[in-house]
Amino acid sequence: MRFAKESKEIIMFFISIMLLSLVAIIAISQFYNLWWIYVLLAIPIFCSIFVIWTFRDPQRIPNLSQNGILAPADGIVTEIVEKEKGFYCVIRMSPFDVHMTRSPISGTVRSVKRQKGKHWPAYFSNYVKRNQRNTIFIENVEKNISAEVIQVSGIFARRTIGYIKEGDEITQGDVIGIIRFGSITSVEIKGENSYKILIKSKESVRAGLSIIAIKDG
């Protein structure tokens, strides 16, 4: 299984905790037969497995589409707004979703802006606007289209990380960052064309695989 970039030290730390917990359980069981000790020591093991699982980066073959827009994140669509020349979509990720962010279009990274902020739960839409975030602006001059992808932190997602920098050329479906422990990812598409929305609110999507909209006409 592949894991997210820059996660090796974190994963090794929690693997160490998991192994130490297993050793402690075996050692204590030699002297005591108290069931609650097993429960107590099982907690760090469970937490370690969960943390390691959240950093997974499953290999995917992106569903490339000349006229389509790919979902930038795994999760549930909480908002989808059709506009005259584009659309806006919000995807809420759970702690159990894959946390990698993927590019909805091919193009050039024009800017990557990091904004400091709070860590309100993603369920409170009015407060989450104040949260820490990364804003990644991607432009495809040939197709006259742009995508603004925003990674928003949450109560568990303490960091939003972009893997790309200004000037990078990326392909639709490429991994461009990660939100540790999930939260919200939004994408706003602007261009000269209108789009037919292929998804609905409360629908589940997968980054790089789900086509959320296609050029109309």
**Residues involved in catalysis:** 183
Give the number of residues written for the chain.
Answer: 217
Token pair listed for 65? 């589409």
The amino acid at 39: V
Give 191's strand partners.
145
> What's the one-letter identity of residue 118?
K
DSSP 8-state code for residue 154 = -
How far is Cα 16 from Cα 6, in angstroms, rounded to an integer? 17
Q: Measuring CA to CA, which residue among 167, 217, 166, 215 is closest to residue 191? A: 215
Task: Identify the sign of the CA torsion 106, 112, 115, 119.
Answer: positive
- In terms of Cα–Cα distance, which of 160, 1, 2 is closest to 72? 160
Q: Side-chain half-sphere of 8: how many Cα atoms within 13 Å?
A: 2
Residue 113: other Cβ atoms inside 10 A: 12
Which residue in 75, 77, 72, 48 sits closest to 62, CA to CA?
72
